[in-house]
Amino acid sequence: MDLHSHTYRHSYPYHKKHPSVTVTKKRSVDDLEEADLRGKRVLVRVELNDSSKIPATAPTIQYLINHGARVILCGHLGGHGDEVTPSSLRDVAPVLSQVIGTTVVMASGCIGEEVEEMVAALQDGDIVLLENVRMYKEEVENDHCFAEKLASLADLYVNDAFQTTSLAHASTLGVTKFLRPAVAGLTMKKELDYLVGVASHLSRPFAAIVGGSKLSSKWELIEALLDKVDILLLGGEMIFTFDKALGRSVGSSLVEEHMFDLARSILKKAKDKKQVSVHSIPNGWRGVDMGSCTIYMYACHLAVAKTILWIGAMGASNISIGTDAVAKLLAELSDKGATTVVAEGVSIASLERLGVADKMSHISIGGVTTTALLQGSSLPSLLALDDAV
């Protein structure tokens, strides 16, 4: 057995009745008609922090300009507190212009007289991009005065940056105190339709695959899923924390000793647990990826699933055998009619590299926000949007 090509996974299948999760549906931009939009200034919070997500902004923007709105785009590139220095969005404006198919004019800031004059000059169907909102420290502080000034540029608000809804920032939460309607964009609507469906109205058996390197970053999600899923497959390097907590030898594999009590608690909550492909790892060896036995056992358990959620990598950093195997497996199950929802970058990158991304029912771009929604955490900027009638 080549221990360099194996890690060891646990599967905890259990089948029982689960109550539905009630999530209030939000109004979206396509609930607004031309009479609501023509000639109106619309502040649109968009996701610009990742170039791969920029095309996802197009449907909402196209809907607005096609209905005569005057669009004011607001976003960020880097910058969150003291973590990353914010960068100018000037190079993003021409990319947006190409994606949308019309000119996007760049503003010099987010507030102030010059920006106000630029917005006042907009005609129906025009688009202006405000400078990186995180260049203002008041943004992450959700400063009331800053939010009011930002909101004063517009008549209504659209949030299409799903990944920011877990943040209580001025451009995501503060402005909603001054602008109505305040609705979700089309990309956010798509995210919510699938993710709320996963949490509430899904076809069973419902299986979840959760990977990653550290249990400390996934334990809340795992505990939340325990009450929702029929089959839970845990993978990634975090599995060695479970193994070590149970007294198994894991060699020099990654473990978080401070998580041992929580690991044992999770295992106790997973009733009727069944362990898959468990081996001892000699001292000096480290488990880094899934082996063929574990992959086979995953396939056996997932074969009966009608809905499958996958979050997180199956192996150590830069090792993709297990992650790619799960990607191929989900593609096969999608072809057989299973609903497949995938979140987090490593999983998505594997799907794209293998050319099977289009086989998934939904690929979430929400990252940690997707996880937060599924584990029942509060998303303040989502809650602030108008409820559907």
Per-residue pLDDT tens digits of the chain, which is 389 residues long: 222 333 334 444 433 444 444 457 899 999 999 999 999 999 999 999 877 789 989 999 999 999 999 999 999 998 764 455 889 999 999 999 999 999 999 999 999 999 999 999 999 999 999 999 999 999 999 999 999 999 999 999 999 999 889 889 999 999 999 999 999 999 999 888 888 766 666 788 888 898 887 887 788 778 878 877 888 888 888 888 888 888 887 777 778 888 888 888 887 777 554 444 445 566 666 676 777 888 888 899 999 999 898 888 887 767 778 889 999 999 999 999 999 988 877 778 888 899 999 999 888 877 778 777 776 677 899 999 999 98
Hey, where are the domains in the chain?
A: 33-180, 193-375
Q: Cβ contacts of residue 76 below 8 Å, gap of 6+?
A: 48, 49, 86, 132, 133, 134, 139
Q: Quick check: do 33-180 and 193-375 share a fold?
A: yes
Q: Give kind and range of the element (H or E) at residue 243.
A: helix 239-245
Angle at 105 between CA 104 and CA 110, to 5 degrees: 115
For residue 197, what are its two tokens? 């469906």
Alpha helices, DSSP H, located in 246-365:
260-269, 292-302, 321-335, 345-354
SS3 292: helix
Name the token pair of 47. 């996701």
The one-character DSSP state at 250 is: B
10-13 and 41-45 beta bridge pairing: unpaired
Is residue 251 a known part of a binding site?
no
- Is the domain spanning 193-375 CATH 3.30.1180.10? The answer is no
265 Cβ contact partners less than 8 Å away, ≥ 6 residues apart: none
Rounded to 5 degrees, φ, ψ at 180 are -145, 140
Residue owning tokens 């997707």: 370
Residue 218 annotated as part of some ligand binding site: yes
pTM of the model: 0.75
For residue 32, give every residue at least 6 positions away whose Cβ sits within 8 Å of its Cβ, in sequence order, or none: 67, 156, 181, 183
* Assigned superfamily of 33-180: Phosphoglycerate kinase, N-terminal domain (3.40.50.1260)
